[in-house]
Amino acid sequence: MSKSSNVTNVVLAGLGGQGVIRAANILAEAAFLTGHDVKQSEIHGMSQRGGSVTSDVRFGLEVVLSPMVPTGEADFLMVLHPSQVENNLYLLREGGVLISTRMILEEGKELDALDADETPLNSRNFNVGLLGILARYLRFPEDAWTTAIRKHLPEKVHEQNLKAFAYGRSLELSPR
């Protein structure tokens, strides 16, 4: 399906408790601080109990109308759990970019492997790490991201999340 507007559409997906909504809040805030019109939409409630969660973030220099990303029009799909890639791929437009844990995890490893390796990523901040990867595609100024990260996370985890973000942003991704 062709895109209906010049708005950038991001869908974030994962399981309840993984920080999907938190990552969406940070992304929406960073877009807002960059001067974009923004809408962010989510379904919560039952999703708190470990079920599938998605949040839509739409932004652009023109007015964003619907808060929901139309099916098949996501420019970016960022998925926090390997089990949630397949069932969300239909949201991504042709040529859209998938950002997933595959980019930060070795083949066959679980998310908690991040707690043991030498990267600044761990099983709690990798959502912000994946935002770092997404940030490579978006032209937001650095301080919009850092301000958004600081605003939406408790102070004691600011430093490690900023490191996780910087790490994601610096990753050399192999072409897929």
Partner 1 sequence: MLQESTQLLSGNEAVALAALHAGVTLGTGYPGTPSTEILENFAHLGGKAQWAPNEKVAYEVGLGVAFGGARALVTMKHVGVNVAADPMFTSAYTGVRGGFVFVSADDPGMASSQNEQDNRRYARAAGVLMLEPSDAQEAYDFTLRAYEISEAWRLPVMLRMTTRVCHSKSVVRPGGVAIKPAAPPHFIREMSALVMVPAFARPAHRRLREKLARAAEWNDQSDLNRKIMKSPDLGIIASGVSYLHAREAAPNASILKLGMTYPLPLQTIRKFIESVKRCVVIEEGDPYLVEALRYEGWAVEGKPEMYRFGELNVPRVRRILSGDVSPEPIPPRGKPPQLCQGCPHRMTFAVMKKYDCIVSGDIGCYTLSVLPPFETMDSCVCMGASITVGLGLRHALPPEEARKVVSVIGDSTFVHSGLTGIAEMIYNPPETGHVVVILDNGTTAMTGMQEHPGTGRTLDHQPTNKLSFERVLEAMGVPHVTVTENPPDFEAALKAALDRTELSVIIMRRTCRLAEPKIQLYEKAAERCNQSQQVTQE
Strand segments (E) across 36-91: 37-42, 52-60, 74-79
Query: Judged by CB under 8 A, which of 6, 45, 156, 176 binds partner 1?
Result: 45
CA 23 to chain centre: 5
Site size for partner 1, by CB under 8 A?
A: 40
Alpha-carbon distances of 46 from 17, 51, 80, 86, 143, rounded to whole Å: 11, 7, 18, 21, 34
Single-letter amino acid code for the residue at 28: A
Q: Is 83 in the site for partner 1 (CB under 8 A)?
A: yes
44 lies in the site for partner 1, by CB under 8 A: yes
Residue from the set 6, 10, 19, 50 that interacts with partner 1 by CB under 8 A: 50
Q: Which is nearer to partner 1, 51 or 117 (CB)?
A: 51
Query: Any contact of residue 93 with partner 1 (CB under 8 A)?
Result: no
Residue 12 burial class via C-beta count within 10 angstroms: exposed 0-12, middle 13-18, buried 19 and up: buried
C-alpha 5/C-alpha 73 separation (Å) is 10
CB 74 within 8 A of CB 35: no
Residue 25 makes contact with partner 1 by CB under 8 A: yes
Residue 38 binds partner 1 (CB under 8 A) = yes
In the list 3, 60, 70, 97, the residue contacting partner 1 (rule: CB under 8 A) is 70
Q: Given the rule CB under 8 A, which residues bind partner 1? A: 1, 4-5, 15-16, 25, 28-29, 32, 37-52, 54, 64-68, 70-72, 83-84, 86-88, 90
